[in-house]
Chains A and B, each alone.
Chain A
Amino acid sequence: MRAIVSVRDLSIGWGAEPILEDVSFDVMRGEVFAILGGSGCGKSTLLRHLIGLEAPMLGRVHLTGIGPPQHGLEPPQFGVLFQSSALFGSMTLLQNVMLPLQKWTNLPKDAIAAVAQARLRLVGLTGFEHHLPSEVSGGMKKRAGIARALALDPQTLFLDEPSAGLDPVTSAGLDELILTLRQSLQVTTILVTHELASIYHVVDNCIVLDRLAKGIIARGNPSDLRDRSTDPRIAAFFHRRPTGSIA
């Protein structure tokens, strides 16, 4: 297996203040990889750097076949689901999914609609194609966001807290979708999440970030980390033990 995302000596932050320093890790093709850690440790910020929305202070991110992530020059090789789904409110779910296809393919309009409909069917949204995002539930928005992220058959999916705010059934449905995408389309998935049940079910490997350490404090399979790690911070995270302050 080869790495599809390589991060080397990455230091990131807002302004001159670093949030994470000297972070290095690899994500292998086809795996479901999670970025874990307490609130405010920089998970979502790290994700924004991985997808090229922010420039690192030091170090580099390398995506196989692309190099450093960039936007707008050629069809995106990765899809992104933002925490808020980030669907365009003035467009129907179908139009949201059609948007990347219109931008990056030369398919005729009816073929684009057919492909977008197939993506929405894949995530279980048949019948809701002509609804605006404001007319569907939070779980449906997330699934529509995944359908849009999948529009151009990316090799890699970045998901920022896909299960946040969803009921357990919908959340479990998203987990199954992630596994299906891996099994059927060999999609590599990198996700930021807090949902322990989801982590044990779908994640192959993870890194755990810590705000005070400003870096990675553990890496490996989540179940192994839970069962074998002697680090109290890891135990606190995986066994949901309070650490004195809510952080």
Chain B
Amino acid sequence: MYTPAFTIRTDEEGGLRSLRIAGRLTLADGRALWAQLCAAVTTGVAVVDLRDVQMIDGGVAAILLAATNGKVRIDGASGEVERLLRLYACAKGSEGPPVVTASRGILVQVGDNAVEFGRELQRNLAFVGDLGAGLAAFVRRPQSVHFSDLLYLMERAGADGLPIIAVINFLIGMILGLQGAIQLHRFGADTFIANLVGLAVVRELAPLMTAIIVAGRSGASYAAELGTMTVNEEVDALRTIGQDPQRFLVLPRVLALCVVVPLLTAFGDLLGCCGGAFIAMIKLDISPTAYFSQLQRSVELSDVISGLIKSIAFAGLIGLVACQRGLATRGGALGVGRSTTSAVVLVLFGLVALDAIFTLIFSLLSF
């Protein structure tokens, strides 16, 4: 059972009510002390008498001062108890006046947000412009861009992502094949499963799913990496030594993605079609030879190229947004988390929107 290491009793002398505390007061008994002091203040106690208190700690000194809040006199403290109370009571607070954050009205908030949105747009345009300038400089003088870790970046985004790309695209091909097999079998059109899976995977699903995986792996990683570099002032350090962060950090990453994402997509195309072949074989008794022969007749080179063109655009989008979000990071670990989240969300939204635009353009051009 809880027994506090102090006792409290209320005395009344000449109409003056006082609270007499005795014993050792530590933060462990803070809850009981706080409750009794708060109750005493509301019932008109005028003095807290500490003459029988043997010791207090800093936390209790803070509690005594906060609970009495200048309305009740603290009396009888001596020695260490008095010194500690004085330390907390006389703490100077701050060197300057307290910083008060004024509450802002709704109109002010809307206005501020609109201005901030405009600035953000301006920064993004400047970012894209800088990258364009970097790209132009790269075309003119390839050695002006920092490429020492390009191979490493390509390995991280490409080779390291092969297993997950393979599994996801194979499963997508299987799912598509399974759903198609049930419907096609009803109409006796089993062999067209190759057309269904092949076109869907090559034109739409492999580029999109591959880009989504790359956004989750490399996009998030770039945003977090550059965000951490920004808050650790490494990006500022780059600027001070005359290195352009765009050319040093962003361009290699965007180029690495633009090289590896189409390759990953081509790999995804193959695995997706294999997933469909697997289902055709076990569900519809279609041999792999017959499946791939039908696939060859239905999927044209332009279908593959349209998917690869999309994947290059997707790669550019992932690299640009992730790096921009990373370099725009402010405010420590919290800011890095925010940047990473916003990078992934923006990229996912952008991928789907870009895919829709490409599909529309290709259908208009009959490509």
- Which residues of A are interface residues toward B (Cβ below 8 A)? 89-90, 101, 105-108, 111, 114-115, 117-119, 121-122, 124-128, 130-134, 150-153, 180, 184-185
Q: Find out whether the CB atom of A185 lies under 8 angstroms from the CB atom of B58.
A: yes
The CA of A237 and the CA of B134, in the complex, are separated in Å by: 48
The CA of A184 and the CA of B91, in the complex, are separated in Å by: 12
The CA of A149 and the CA of B65, in the complex, are separated in Å by: 21
Q: Find out whether the CB atom of B98 lies under 8 angstroms from the CB atom of A127.
A: yes
Find the B residue at minimum CB distance from A116: B62
Q: Does B99 contact A (CB under 8 A)?
A: yes
| Known contacts A90-B334, A184-B84, A184-B87; is-contact A127 B63 (Cβ 8 Å) | no
22 CB-based A-B contacts, threshold 8 Å: A101-B59, A107-B30, A107-B34, A108-B31, A108-B35, A111-B34, A114-B62, A114-B67, A117-B66, A118-B62, A126-B91, A126-B98, A127-B93, A127-B97, A127-B100, A132-B331, A134-B331, A150-B58, A152-B27, A153-B26, A180-B87, A184-B87
Q: Does B88 contact A (CB under 8 A)?
A: yes
Q: Please report which residues of chain B, range 7-52, place their CB below 8 angstroms from some CB of chain A when the two chains form the complex.
A: 26-28, 30-31, 34-35
Q: Specify which chain A residues have a CB less than 8 angstroms from the CB of B62 in the assembled complex.
A: 114-115, 117-119
Q: Find out whether the CB atom of A126 lies under 8 angstroms from the CB atom of B334.
A: no
Q: Does B297 contact A (CB under 8 A)?
A: no
Q: Find out whether the CB atom of B98 lies under 8 angstroms from the CB atom of A152.
A: no
Find the A residue at minimum CB distance from B37: A111
Q: Find out whether the CB atom of B31 lies under 8 angstroms from the CB atom of A124.
A: no
The CA of A101 and the CA of B27, in the complex, are separated in Å by: 9
Q: Find out whether the CB atom of B93 lies under 8 angstroms from the CB atom of A124.
A: yes
Q: Find out whether the CB atom of B66 lies under 8 angstroms from the CB atom of A118.
A: yes
Q: Specify which chain B residues have a CB less than 8 angstroms from the CB of A119 in the assembled complex.
A: 58, 62
Q: Find out whether the CB atom of B94 lies under 8 angstroms from the CB atom of A118.
A: no
How many whole Å from B226's CB to the nearest CB in chain A? 17
How many whole Å from A145's CB to the nearest CB in chain B? 14
Q: Specify which chain A residues have a CB less than 8 angstroms from the CB of B65 in the assembled complex.
A: 118
Q: Find out whether the CB atom of B31 lies under 8 angstroms from the CB atom of A111.
A: yes
Q: Specify which chain A residues have a CB less than 8 angstroms from the CB of B98 in the assembled complex.
A: 126-128
Q: Specify which chain A residues have a CB less than 8 angstroms from the CB of B84 in the assembled complex.
A: 184-185
Q: Does B140 contact A (CB under 8 A)?
A: no
Q: Specify which chain B residues have a CB less than 8 angstroms from the CB of A89 in the assembled complex.
A: 331-335
Interface size on B, residues (CB 8 A): 37
Q: Specify which chain A residues have a CB less than 8 angstroms from the CB of B99 in the assembled complex.
A: 127-128, 131
In this complex, the member of B26, B28, B30 whose beta carbon has the largest number of chain A beta carbons within 10 angstroms is B30
The CA of A124 and the CA of B90, in the complex, are separated in Å by: 11
Q: Find out whether the CB atom of B94 lies under 8 angstroms from the CB atom of A127.
A: yes
Q: Find out whether the CB atom of B88 lies under 8 angstroms from the CB atom of A121.
A: yes
Q: Please report which residues of chain B, range 76-100, place their CB below 8 angstroms from some CB of chain A when the two chains form the complex.
A: 83-84, 87-88, 91-100
Find the B residue at minimum CB distance from A114: B66
The CA of A124 and the CA of B28, in the complex, are separated in Å by: 26
Q: Specify which chain B residues have a CB less than 8 angstroms from the CB of A153 in the assembled complex.
A: 26-27, 57-59
| Known contacts A111-B31, A111-B66; is-contact A152 B59 (Cβ 8 Å) | yes
Find the B residue at minimum CB distance from A90: B334
Interface membership of chain B positions 94-124, coded 1 if the CB is closer than 8 angstroms to chain A and 0 otherwise: 1111111100000000000000000000000
Q: Does B61 contact A (CB under 8 A)?
A: yes
How many whole Å from B84's CB to the nearest CB in chain A? 6
How many whole Å from A165's CB to the nearest CB in chain B? 12
Q: Find out whether the CB atom of A130 lies under 8 angstroms from the CB atom of B91.
A: no
Q: Specify which chain A residues have a CB less than 8 angstroms from the CB of B63 in the assembled complex.
A: 107, 111, 114-115
Interface membership of chain B positions 321-361, coded 1 if the CB is closer than 8 angstroms to chain A and 0 otherwise: 00000000011111100000000000000000000000000
Since A105-B30, A115-B66, A119-B58 are in contact, a sample of 20 more A-B pairs with Cβ atoms closer than 8 Å, ordered by chain A residue number, is A101-B59, A105-B59, A107-B30, A111-B30, A114-B66, A115-B27, A115-B30, A115-B59, A117-B66, A118-B58, A119-B62, A121-B91, A122-B87, A124-B93, A127-B94, A152-B27, A152-B59, A153-B26, A153-B57, A153-B58
How many whole Å from A67's CB to the nearest CB in chain B? 20
Q: Specify which chain B residues have a CB less than 8 angstroms from the CB of A133 in the assembled complex.
A: 332
Q: Find out whether the CB atom of A124 lies under 8 angstroms from the CB atom of B95.
A: yes
Q: Specify which chain B residues have a CB less than 8 angstroms from the CB of A180 in the assembled complex.
A: 87
Among all A-B residue pairs, the 9 with the closest Cβ atoms: A127-B98, A118-B62, A114-B66, A126-B93, A89-B332, A134-B331, A153-B57, A111-B34, A121-B91
Q: Specify which chain A residues have a CB less than 8 angstroms from the CB of B26 in the assembled complex.
A: 153
The CA of A150 and the CA of B16, in the complex, are separated in Å by: 37
Q: Specify which chain A residues have a CB less than 8 angstroms from the CB of B92 in the assembled complex.
A: 121, 124
How many whole Å from B61's CB to the nearest CB in chain A? 7
The CA of A38 and the CA of B50, in the complex, are separated in Å by: 49
The CA of A153 and the CA of B97, in the complex, are separated in Å by: 28
How many whole Å from A25's CB to the nearest CB in chain B? 28
The CA of A108 and the CA of B83, in the complex, are separated in Å by: 26
Q: Specify which chain B residues have a CB less than 8 angstroms from the CB of A124 in the assembled complex.
A: 91-95
The CA of A108 and the CA of B35, in the complex, are separated in Å by: 9
Find the B residue at minimum CB distance from A87: B332
Q: Find out whether the CB atom of B91 lies under 8 angstroms from the CB atom of A105.
A: no
The CA of A128 and the CA of B34, in the complex, are separated in Å by: 25
Q: Specify which chain B residues have a CB less than 8 angstroms from the CB of A150 in the assembled complex.
A: 58
Q: Specify which chain B residues have a CB less than 8 angstroms from the CB of A131 in the assembled complex.
A: 99
How many whole Å from B75's CB to the nearest CB in chain A? 20
How many whole Å from A147's CB to the nearest CB in chain B? 11
Q: Specify which chain A residues have a CB less than 8 angstroms from the CB of B59 in the assembled complex.
A: 101, 105, 115, 151-153
| Known contacts A127-B98, A128-B99, A153-B58; is-contact A134 B91 (Cβ 8 Å) | no
How many whole Å from B242's CB to the nearest CB in chain A? 24
The CA of A122 and the CA of B101, in the complex, are separated in Å by: 22
Q: Specify which chain B residues have a CB less than 8 angstroms from the CB of A107 in the assembled complex.
A: 27, 30-31, 34, 63
Q: Specify which chain B residues have a CB less than 8 angstroms from the CB of A127 in the assembled complex.
A: 93-94, 96-100
